[in-house]
Amino acid sequence: MEVLKQELKENIIEQLNLEDITVEDIADNDILFGDGLGLDSIDALELIVMLDKNYGIKLTDPKEGREIFGSIEIMAKYITEHRTK
Amino acid sequence: MKSEFRIKSFCHVKNNTISFNGSVIYENLESPDFLAFAKAAYRNFDIKYSKFFKMDGLSKLALLASDVILKNEHLDSQKENNIAIVFSNKSSSLDTDRKHQSSIEDADNYYPSPAIFVYTLPNICIGEISIKYKLHSENSFFIFDSFNAEHLLNYSNSLLSIGKADEVLCGWVEYNGTTYEAFMYLVSKEGITQHTKQDIIKLYTI
């Protein structure tokens, strides 16, 4: 799980172009949207694509993302339970 | 031919150099490409718009050039600023269109990026500028083979004459991956330079 969390932080920073943020800046339980990392609705769509591309998880309802993308901890747990690749 | 309107200020971004009213205000000749140059310029001018890093090349170019002009206006962010935006270029959003196409051309590896897709229209750069400077104003983006001073002149004069805008930020914002050029100018009732076709072309070719 720790390896996955590290991988998620690296991918999020790279794919969402979070220029001034490093892996060390993101705690496992930090809120990713709103007042947390400040991600927006386009970022949420990008994360949905990332789940599909990297882990074979298809979210058909974008609203599901609100819970799944709550924090790195929640994302890692969901991916571990649902990944197909 | 005299005009009732004036060119208040103008800006060029090309060849790793940014100039304002004809004077170089920033250059970084060591940048290997526009994106590296834009990032360095963003930091140099302390623009403070974190979404900048998520934008495509065209929007970065447009935002950099407009920032040089608009920050000189010291706009009141608490007020609605009625500055219209009229931009033009040759390549539309082709560079981003190509990136989007490359993400969807392989049916077995079909992962279009939403962050890229949102920039597959040239006028998105106007939206970015409007958000940054809280402009709730008229805007248009035209595609021409080359810089068309006459069209920009007539369109901006029309907006000002019928009271659709107090000022108009006009320009040419061309980005095609390996080549880029921005020329922007602010049309107003104030300013030294006449707002005529000849004067626009003269400033464009500086």
Position A38 scores a pLDDT of 81
**Cβ of A19 and B53 within 8 Å?**
yes
Q: Nearest C-alpha of chain A: how many angstroms from B122?
A: 18
Maximum CA pair distance of chain A? Answer: 32
Position B76 scores a pLDDT of 85
Asked if the C-beta of A16 comes within 8 angstroms of chain B's C-beta atoms, the answer is yes
Position A65 scores a pLDDT of 85
| Low-confidence spans in chain B with pLDDT less than 50 | none
Q: Is residue B1 a part of any domain in this protein?
A: no
The whole domain housing B91 covers 6-204
Q: Is residue B64 a part of any domain in this protein?
A: yes
Asked if the C-beta of A46 comes within 8 angstroms of chain B's C-beta atoms, the answer is yes
Asked if the C-beta of A38 comes within 8 angstroms of chain B's C-beta atoms, the answer is yes
At A60, is the pLDDT very low, low, confident or very high (cuts 50, 70, 90)? confident
**Cβ of A16 and B54 within 8 Å?**
yes
Residue range A32-40: mean pLDDT, rounded: 84
Q: Which pTM value belongs to this model?
A: 0.93
Question: To which residue do tokens 């990297």 refer?
Answer: A54
Chain A CB contacts of B41 below 8 Å: none
**Cβ of B112 and A42 within 8 Å?**
no
Out of A17, A46, A53, name the one closest to residue B53 (CB): A17
Position B68 scores a pLDDT of 97
The pLDDT > 90 percentage for chain A reads 73
Chain A CB contacts of B112 below 8 Å: 49
The number of folded domains in chain B is 1
Position A66 scores a pLDDT of 82
B85: CATH: 3.40.47.10
Position B38 scores a pLDDT of 96
In SS3 terms, B43-78 reads as HHHCCCCHHHHHCCHHHHHHHHHHHHHHHCCCCCCC
Angle, vertex CA B154, rays to CA B150 and CA B160, nearest 5: 145
Asked if the C-beta of B32 comes within 8 angstroms of chain A's C-beta atoms, the answer is no
Q: Is residue B78 a part of any domain in this protein?
A: yes
Q: Is residue B122 a part of any domain in this protein?
A: yes
For residues A18-39, one letter each, b for 16 or more C-beta atoms within 10 angstroms of the residue's C-beta and e for the rest, the string is beebeeeebeeeeebbeeebeb
Q: Nearest C-alpha of chain A: how many angstroms from B35?
A: 13
Contact status, residue B95 vs residue B58, Cβ threshold 8 Å: yes
